[in-house]
Amino acid sequence: MPDVLLIGDWHLASVTAAGLTRLGYTVHLWPDAVETPDRAAFDALTRGHRCGDEPEIAGILATAREKGTLRPVLGEAQAAQVLRHADMSVVVHDTGTAADGTVTDTRPVTALRRLLGDHRRHGPVVVASQLRAGTCDTALATAGLPVDSPDLIHIPENLRLGRAITDFLHPVRTVVGCNAPQLPQAVSDLLERLGSCDELHMRLVEAELVKHGTNAYLALCITLANELGTIAGHFGADPVTVLDGVRADERVAAGAPLRPGEPYAGATLHRDVRALVEHGEPIGRDGLFRAVAHANAVHALAPLAALDKHLEGVAERTVCLLGLTYKPGVSTLRDSAALRLADELHAQGARVTAFDPIAETADLRDLHRCTTFTEAAADADCVVLTVEHPAFTEPAFFESATPRHALLLRLTQAERRSRVPTPRGWKSVDLWNS
């Protein structure tokens, strides 16, 4: 059974550890966590507490730990021991960012450089973390390795929250960056186990740019849908019908996220759009990416205008946010559009309450998070649907709520396309008919 040294924490580490153990690897996991002892971080990860409630992960990790195929690495000394015999070392830190996409977590690059420069290392280094273009080539040079070294391989993660283990075990596309003419055998074996439908081999910097480009394309599609949808609503047209017509053209990808709704959120898209702004600026090619970021920021503030209109001002009003996470069915609050809206409402003098049955625990300064929707909606001047969690789709969900005004503002999509029914006696509005 091949051995892997896995360095990382949170979602990407949880999914990768689960996936590799399912593929037959023994995984030696070093969380290298921030402000958390390695043992505590490992225990939390194997209980599924650091994966954003990703389906199946907790069970897979618990089984692997019990079988002994998922083992803790507690500190650098133990990591050095594993490094001597591991078939490969894999860097899977999630890359933390600020709200504007600026990278704030240096651990992926630090781990990459540490591994490449360690003469005790037996196998190649595989990095799945999100990296800025040029990072891998710089790491090789810093370690004194030739530019065409087979010691470093970049396989950028391509996981969607809510279905990450499926994406890991059954990839539709796998991008493999390596400057050497031939992959190390350990990496070839991994790719064979993954059995990707489409395996694309390229240089390291090209793999980094593919990740930037993929996420920038998704951000562009979301922004186009929201901008065109808003214009359609101005003409009294149904935004979704218009975008469905666009997507029906054979030149437009059928899976493109061309559906008017929330602004794009989550650190991933912001990070890669920001990266392309900064990479493009010195050569005068940053305009498109700046425009995407600006249009998305404008759309994120559109709910304020709608609330201001329907409530005749938001100051001293009570607004209830229904949902806090950045995506349905997951618990992460990282770069949530709902939290950004809460900040803006608070700044304009509104009282903000919220209910989310699955969002992770966090210190939320500008809103009052309630344990029930009944409590959150009590005396609210408006309920704002920010995320369509499955629990909200039940017809009986709204029955016990007693807001001051039975007004439901939808930020997800138009009413007739939504999975959340409008309660009897409520008025439903959205950003396209308000």
Least confident of 32-36, 142-146, 153-157, 395-399: 32-36
Distant-in-sequence, close-in-space partners of 272: CB < 8 Å, separation ≥ 6: 101, 130, 211, 212, 213, 214, 215, 216, 219
- The pTM score is 0.89
What is the pLDDT averaged over residues 1-30?
95
Give CA–CA dist 42/74, Å, rounded.
Answer: 9
- Give the percent of the chain with pLDDT over 70: 99
pLDDT tens digit sequence for 278-289: 999 999 999 999
Identify the pLDDT of residue 52: 78
Contact (Cβ atoms closer than 8 angstroms) between residue 415 and residue 428: yes
Give CA–CA dist 428/44, Å, rounded.
Answer: 41
Indicate the residue type of 116. Answer: L
More confident position, 266 or 254: 254
pLDDT tens digit sequence for 399-418: 889 999 999 999 887 777 78
pLDDT tens digit sequence for 40-65: 999 999 998 888 778 899 999 999 99
What is the pLDDT averaged over residues 60-82?
94
What is the pLDDT averaged over residues 362-366?
77
CATH number for the domain formed by residue range(s) 215-299: 1.10.1040.10
With a cut of 90, say whether residue 254 has pLDDT above it: no
Identify the pLDDT of residue 94: 87
pLDDT tens digit sequence for 94-118: 887 776 667 778 899 999 999 999 9
Q: Which helix (H) or strand (E) holds 26?
A: strand 26-30
pLDDT tens digit sequence for 320-337: 999 998 788 778 887 788
More confident position, 392 or 337: 392
Beta strands in 283-366 (DSSP E): 318-322, 351-355
Domains 3-202 and 215-299 share a fold: no
Fold type of domain 3-202 = Rossmann fold (3.40.50)
Band (145; pLDDT cuts 50, 70, 90):
very high
Identify the pLDDT of residue 35: 81
Rg of the chain (C-alpha set): 23
With a cut of 90, say whether residue 200 has pLDDT above it: yes
Least confident of 12-21, 38-47, 49-58, 223-232: 49-58
User: What's the whole-number average pLDDT of the chain?
Assistant: 91
pLDDT tens digit sequence for 150-184: 999 999 999 988 899 999 999 999 999 999 999 99
Q: Where are the domains of the chain?
A: 3-202, 215-299, 301-430
Identify the pLDDT of residue 333: 82
With a cut of 80, say whether residue 317 has pLDDT above it: yes
What is 301-430's CATH number, 2.30.30.170, 3.40.640.10, 1.10.1040.10, 3.40.50.720?
Answer: 3.40.50.720
DSSP characters over 382-399: EEEE----GGGGSGGGGT
